[in-house]
């Protein structure tokens, strides 16, 4: 899973987390339940994340999204739960057909069940999806008493390099490996 080492695991545990096989990730459960960024958002943006700052329960939504998969009944028509083992694995529900007509770069957060965290498509903006989840956008899935702060649906990394969304990017290839060739720097240099 992307961003776990960068956002969920605290600084002093990052090297250990990187060395541990995913099947032993349960030792890091407390960090998934109360990630560092969840604590920092209300401090960095005073008055913006009031509901998130007041939330003191363990983040069952993040545990489901990032460690176990999402059980049946959480999202209507979807599940990618793989059992009680808490492990940093990408999970794919192959019963969900690919969305080729109108995919959302925000995956399930954007209403597209074929997108992240249901596997990981090339076009999924995984960073924005996970940042919004940590900011509280997915908490109502497991706690209907929680109301996400308005900013939770706006949190983003500020980079949208998705060729589907960005007219200046090279489009994806129609066949594997799907990613276009990198853009050569000398062809796109700017005069000083």
Is residue 140 within 8 A of residue 133, CB to CB? The reply is no
Burial class (CB in 10 A: 0-12, 13-18, 19+), 5: middle
Distances (CA, A) of 21 to 24, 49, 177: 6, 34, 27
pLDDT value, residue 163: 47
Q: In the chain, where are the structural domains located?
A: 4-160
Q: Low-confidence residues of the chain, pLDDT below 70? A: 159-169, 183-192
Structure tokens at 73: 């009944």
pLDDT value, residue 77: 85
CA distance 158 to 161: 10
pLDDT value, residue 65: 92
pLDDT value, residue 178: 80
């Amino acid at each position: 899973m992307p961003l776990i080492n960068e956002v969920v695991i605290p600084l002093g545990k990052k090297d250990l987390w990187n060395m541990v096989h995913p099947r032993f990730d349960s030792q890091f459960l407390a960090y998934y339940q109360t990630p560092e960024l969840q604590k920092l958002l209300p401090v960095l943006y005073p008055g913006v994340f009031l509901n998130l700052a007041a939330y003191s329960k363990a983040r069952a939504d993040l545990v489901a999204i990032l460690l176990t998969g999402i059980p049946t009944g959480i999202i209507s028509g979807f599940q990618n739960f793989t059992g009680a083992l808490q492990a940093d694995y990408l999970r794919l529900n192959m019963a969900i057909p690919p969305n080729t007509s109108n995919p959302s770069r925000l995956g399930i957060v954007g209403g597209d069940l074929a997108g992240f965290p249901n596997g990981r498509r090339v076009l999924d903006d995984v960073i924005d999806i996970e940042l919004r989840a940590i900011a509280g956008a997915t908490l109502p899935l497991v706690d209907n008493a929680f109301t996400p702060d308005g900013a939770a649906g706006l949190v983003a990394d500020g980079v949208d390099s998705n060729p589907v969304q960005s007219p200046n990017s090279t489009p994806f290839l129609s066949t594997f490996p799907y990613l276009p060739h990198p853009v050569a720097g000398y062809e796109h240099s700017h005069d000083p």
